[in-house]
Amino acid sequence: MSESFTTVMWGNASNAAIPVPRSVVEALGGGGRARVHVVVNGFEFTSVLASNLGEPAIGFSQVRRRESGIQPGDALDVTLTLVSA
C-alpha cells in the first residue's frame, strides 16, 4: 500500500525531517514505527516512521540532504510505501 502527499521539509542545518500527516500513517496501517520506502522529489530511501515534537515524521540526515539537494523549507512531493516485515 502506498500513500502520497505534499509537505515542506522541517528543520535547520543540524536536524531535518519530513512531516507525515497522521491520516497517511493511519492509511498505511503499519503503526507509528512502520518501516517505509520513501520517494521524496524523486529521491528514494527506506526508513522508519518516527516522531518529531510529537508529530509523525521521517528523519532526513545531512548525508541524504547532500545526496538529494533537498533542504529544510523545500516543498516536497512524498510517496510512502509500507515495507513488509
pLDDT per residue as tens digits for the range 6-43: 999 999 988 999 999 999 999 998 787 899 999 999 99
Which residues lie below 8 Å from residue 50, measured CB to CB, with a gap of 6+? 17, 33, 56, 57, 58, 59
Report d(CA 47, CA 60) in Å as an integer: 9
The β-bridge relationship of strands 50-52 and 35-40 is: unpaired
Residue pLDDT, tens place only, 63-72? 999 999 999 9
